[in-house]
Structure 1
């Protein structure tokens, strides 16, 4: 009986580990395809050729909201930058909200004015959150122009440092 219980527990833990794996640096970023507030579908693969920050967040997440001004500033500084493997920087904001009104209000209030705000409004049950093994937010992945994950969980100064590390340095700048 005890042996059966232990095997059940170990099997359950292994099952959890196998079903919610987080993609790793050096791997191809899993595809994401979700709708914008306007109802258009945006896919991660549509952004190939650019450096993309996939940012998982929600309007109800206080740490996410505190990070938004940094994202806005970083986006403004780097959106037209040439990188070693990508031309330009974009943010793919994946909201884990449940309510459309709160999601849209936060986009406006926090001035998240990049064109790639997406959500399926399923919260933690979001297909994208499952695909990326998201268990807490904020969470982020930096993806190069070929769709390869090159950094993860960048916040504050770490995001800007990572972008500087991957940009093309020109002597005439």
Structure 2
């Protein structure tokens, strides 16, 4: 009986270490995430390979996110034709409020939702500690920066 208990403890420890190491880090490829967008279609995050992609975690109830959205709209409008994409991932639990925020903030870039809030799988995979949080991916789909500045994003767009 004692050995079964020890085995269960070992498995639990192994799983906890594995989940901690599952967080994305620089140099990693897009995680295998599929989420519903604001048009009720399921999109794969890795479908954006071939473009510079800024993934932004946000929520409708987050005032800092809503302020950041204004800057993202300007950035998107200026660079969307230059092989650049922004993908918003909302941690909203209430879909209606998320959809209202997209409309009010005039977000034209792809919007996805992971409706389990901070318990969402995507939040765990990306290691999101607070919002807004952004992740910049290269055209090859590799993570190159976490919470990059606007200057770093623009430099990456112009570099390609």
| Shared fold, TM over 0.5 | yes
TM-score by length of 2: 0.83
**2:60 alignment counterpart:** 59
- Structure 1 position 131, deviation (Å): 1.2
**1:163 alignment counterpart:** 153
Quote the Cα distance in structure 2 between the aligned partners of 1:47 and 1:169. 18
**1:111 alignment counterpart:** 106
Cα pair distance change 1:79/1:18, threshold 3 Å: same
Quote the Cα distance in structure 1 between the aligned partners of 2:142 and 2:29. 4
Residue 95 (structure 2) pairs with residue 100 (structure 1): yes
Quote the Cα distance in structure 2 between the aligned partners of 1:50 and 1:147. 8
1:2-81 aligned at under 5 Å gives the runs: 15=16, 19-21=19-21, 22-81=23-82
Quote the Cα distance in structure 1 between the aligned partners of 2:80 and 2:114. 26
**2:135 alignment counterpart:** 141
Gaps of 5+ in 2: 1-11
Quote the Cα distance in structure 1 between the aligned partners of 2:68 and 2:121. 23
Gaps of 5+ in 1: 1-10, 82-87
Runs of 4+ in 1 over 6 A off after TM superposition: none
TM-score by length of 1: 0.77
Question: Of 96, 114, 119, which residue of structure 2 is paired with 1:120?
Answer: 114
Classify the secondary structure of the residue corresponding to 1:94. strand
Query: RMSD of aligned C-alpha atoms?
Result: 2.2
